[in-house]
Structures are given as structure tokens and as C-alpha cells.
Amino acid sequence: MKISKKYSNFVFVLLVAFFMSMLMSFLVVLINEGFSGNLIFLWLKSWAFVFPIAFFVAYLVVPKIRRFVDSIVE
């Protein structure tokens, strides 16, 4: 299945936010709670809260970062 090129920025941001928020929320919960019996529940609860915020922030920031990088790279 191919997605139209016009959605490439949206898909890129979605995937970056998805994986980064998943990994970071897991590590923070693991550090704070350790390997407990409810680690997965706490992680998924944390990730469900953090992912929409990560997506919104990434959606706003990624285009600005791309323009900045394009301006400093030859």
C-alpha cells in the first residue's frame, strides 16, 4: 500500500512521534518504577498520554528544523 506523496510530512511526523514517544515513555516509566508487575500497564497509560502531545509538537517543529538544516547545509 502506497500513501500519496502529499502526506509524506504528516506520515513522517506521525512515525517519529510514535516511536520516540513509545521509547521515551517506556524508559521513563522503567527508571521510575523498575521492573514491576504493572510496568506494561503504566507504560501504555503514560504513552497514551504523551503520544498526542509528541505528535502535536513534532508537527509544529519538524518543518522549522528542516528549513534550518537546509539553510546551514550545502
- Give residue 20's pLDDT: 96
Instruction: Write out the residue range of the structural domain in which residue 37 sits.
Output: 5-72
| Per-residue pLDDT at 26 exceeds 90 | yes
Q: At what angle do helices 8-33 and 39-72 cross, to 10 degrees?
A: 130
Local confidence band at 12 (pLDDT 50, 70, 90 cut-offs): very high
- Total structural domains in the chain? 1
pLDDT tens column, 35-67: 989 999 999 999 999 999 999 999 999 999 999
